[in-house]
Amino acid sequence: MRKDRSDYRFAQTKRRRKPWLIVLAIIGLCITLLLVLYFHDTRRSDLQIGKELDSYKGVAVYYNGINGSQSHGKSYSDSGYYYGYKWQCVEYIKRLCGGNSTKRVR
């Protein structure tokens, strides 16, 4: 019978600790979220959509914003070849391959 009482006490203690763990986890998540939002906004404040960030082999890399799925128009070569939506990764690869070689990416 003594074993049953100790198991009962352990179960009661374990139940009492759970709400504190949940509260601490929620507070930790809130602090993490606030820090991420704060540093995310301060790092991106100087970037404008369409701003040239860098270039590789003479092909410019442009900033397309936080929402990568947002469209900023279509991109065409001087000869009329359609690269894709402006400043997307596929459009960049097509500009890189299409502008520096005779092969076209389809």
Where are the domains positioned within the chain? 1-46, 52-100
Report residue 76 as tokens: 């065409």
Q: Which residues of 79-104 are buried (b: 16+ CB within 10 A; e: fewer)?
A: eeeebbbbbbeebbebbbebeeeeee
Q: What is the pLDDT of residue 91?
A: 86
**Is the whole model's pTM more than 0.75, yes or no?**
no
Report residue 10 as tokens: 């352990």
Q: What is the pLDDT of residue 14?
A: 56
The closest of 49, 51, 93 to 70, measured between CA atoms, is 49
Q: What is the pLDDT of residue 101?
A: 47
Q: pLDDT tens for residues 28-82?
A: 998 998 888 776 654 555 778 888 888 988 888 888 877 767 788 898 888 888 8
